[in-house]
Amino acid sequence: MMQVCLRLAVAVWLVCQIPLLPAHEIRPAGLFIQEQSDGAVMVTWKLPARGEYPLSISPHLSSGWLDREPDRRINTVDALVLEWRIAPPRDELEGQRLTVSGLRETVTDVFTEVVWRDGHKVTYLIKPQRPTVEIGRGARTGQQVSGYFLLGLQHIASGYDHLAYLLGLVLLIGNLSTLVKTITAFTVAHSITLACAALELVTLRPAAVEAVIALSIAYVAAELVRKYRDQGGSLLLFPWQAAFAFGLLHGFGFAGALSAIGLPGTNVAGALLLFNLGIEAGQLLFILSLLGLLLLLERLVPALQRQLCRVATYAIGALASFWVIERVFV
């Protein structure tokens, strides 16, 4: 009776949490400031959209350059792009304070790249905790490299659908050797399509990709239920092959953050590699933490571990079903 009450309580709590979990990862905004050879300044603001509405965040420079209507406005599938051209200004770009309002309310980061006319470049990752930076030629020059790595790390950390899929794989595959092969296949596959999508070699509709990703999570949850009922399943027979196929789809999902901010004009390969490494680092940390927790519970309270695994299975299925409905019908 106690176990039934525990399962019911956890199930009710999970149902209450479903609306609080975003179906999409939190994508960063992108701000690109470039000095032209004639002294003019071009500013491009890429604002990610949730559904049909762009996020309520806006950049401000201490010079007031952006305190007017943009010269150009472009609507894309998942972002709003605003462009300003500032004629050769009196104010110097260096030393200006850049503030992005609305970050705390939207829990969004802003990837910022500043390029001077001589080609010198600096990058910043503006976060809700520190929404203001001072632009300087000598400041944070190394962050062009680390910025994309941090974006990849953040992308996987806020991608609850991708994490749910990984959780399902860890629960489904009990053999460590098979799990390593399966995760490796998933990693190789999503790395391939991430590169193809980021370089615009292959394009798919984001809405369709996200819906199929949700279906892949529901499929893993269904396979877990079959496992607990000793009914077998195709994923247990062909784990790494299935993970490779699903990984190809998840790679297009991972490319969403890069499409929001774009790749730099120079060192495209380096930025793409570091973004992917950030994803892999976050993925590895998540999986190792899960394995450590499961091993600890198995040694200390094996009965509770089995119960929690079953509860997690139904939670994954419930979330996946919610995401499928939201992405297809909402």
Domain borders along the chain are 2-24+159-329, 30-141
CB count in 10 Å sphere of residue 300:
9
Q: Which CATH architecture describes the domain 30-141?
A: Sandwich (2.60)
Q: Tens-of-pLDDT digits for all 330 residues of the chain?
A: 445 444 545 444 444 444 444 444 557 788 999 999 888 999 999 887 655 567 788 999 999 999 999 999 988 766 789 999 998 887 888 889 999 998 888 778 888 888 888 888 888 888 888 889 999 876 544 445 567 888 888 888 888 899 999 999 999 998 889 999 999 999 999 999 999 988 888 888 888 888 999 999 999 999 999 988 887 778 888 999 999 999 999 999 888 767 766 666 666 777 888 889 999 999 999 999 999 999 999 999 999 988 999 999 999 999 999 999 988 886
Burial 239-275 (b: 16+ CB within 10 A, else e): bbebbbebbbbbbbbbbbbbbbbbbbeeeeeebbbbb
Structure tokens that stand for 194 in this block? 């991430």
